[in-house]
Amino acid sequence: MEILPRVRSSSEIYGLMKISSCRKSGALSGIPISGCLGDQSAALVGQMCFHDGQAKNTYGTGCFLLRNTGAKPVMSDHGLLTTVAYKLGRDKPACYALEGSVAIAGAVVRWLQDNLGIIGSSEELEKLAASVGTSYGCYFVPAFSGLYAPYWEPSARGIICGLTQFTNKSHLAFAALEAVCFQTREILDAMNQDSGIPLTQLQVDGGMTSNKLLMQLQADILCIPVVKPSMPETTALGAAMAAGAAEGVSVWSLNPEDLSEVTSEKFDPQINPEESEFRYARWKKAVEKSKNWETTQPVVNGNGEPSIFSSVPLGFYIIGSMLMLIGAKYITGPD
């Protein structure tokens, strides 16, 4: 324990900026360092999710959904992590959160752009998907490095299923956006089960929230409103809020009664719950198909024993050798 750093709150003065001795002065000299928050905790503060049950989702390369559980940590039984959310003052209680992460969100846009070359930019993805307004039964599970919460399945791999002869790149673009939304719903379902209280709205931030189609899809798939603040970079905002509220700095207050309402854009569900549940059930079926692809287990025959033909090259080698022996016997004739 003695080699570990001291635990401090997220909002207090830790020290002052000091200018190197080689410089006589500097604009930051003597400025207090007073805010310390991790990336996702800062976004939770920036979204002002200070009440038990409030949640935010950050859409970046991956997705990170945090739900405030108040002063008592909640241990998950459904594949989520329990984490410290923030402690806004030396004498204030620590608040905790449930956290779920999605590995591939914005990264799927880069994959479609760089690996497949079907789009030239993220804006083009939204236009392609909007041009059809449906995936036409196509489902895309982007488990490029396995599945994260709530499955924690490293053997899973990405699949695209439900293809027909009419499926085109626009349908694939739509399916990619839906995949981000379906993965978020899986985490939110797990959080609702752990907490026992369904979420009534989801607050969102991050680069992908500029995609209005994605935000509408998210509301449709969750069957609850999605609320996007006018300033989407809430991680930086949250760190600044914690720093400015520290005792000795006190340029603003984070007490709920002192907080002003933030300008935001709200996306309400536009499809009926039955359709949403049908699409979600299809997604869950696709997820099951993606599991256990990366395995070292040999193929077994009907008796449960490894088959020599589990290795395709070995099978071809054996069959080829047998044919050559038969051919040689035929050519040379009887002894």
Instruction: Work out the average pLDDT over 181-188.
Output: 97
Percent over 90 (pLDDT), the chain: 75
Looking at the predicted structure, is the pLDDT value of residue 71 above 70? yes
pTM of the model: 0.83
**pLDDT score for 292:** 92
Percent over 70 (pLDDT), the chain: 87
Could you tell me if 320 and 312 are in contact, meaning their C-beta atoms sit under 8 angstroms apart?
no
**pLDDT score for 36:** 94
Looking at the predicted structure, is the pLDDT value of residue 190 above 70? yes
Q: How many CB atoms lie within 10 A of CB 310?
A: 13
Instruction: Work out the average pLDDT over 195-219.
Output: 94
pLDDT tens digit string along 219-259? 999 999 999 998 878 999 999 999 999 999 999 999 877 88
Looking at the predicted structure, is the pLDDT value of residue 22 above 80? no
Confidence of residue 108 (pLDDT cuts 50, 70, 90): very high
Lowest mean pLDDT among 177-186, 222-231, 325-334: 325-334
Nearest to 85 by CA among 73, 103, 77: 73
By CB atoms closer than 10 A (0-12, 13-18, 19+), residue 2 is exposed
pLDDT tens digit string along 29-46? 889 999 999 999 999 999
pLDDT tens digit string along 122-177? 899 999 999 999 999 999 999 999 999 999 999 999 999 999 999 999 999 999 99
Looking at the predicted structure, is the pLDDT value of residue 305 above 60? no
Instruction: Work out the average pLDDT over 71-95.
Output: 94
- Kindly state the tokens that stand for 260: 């002003």
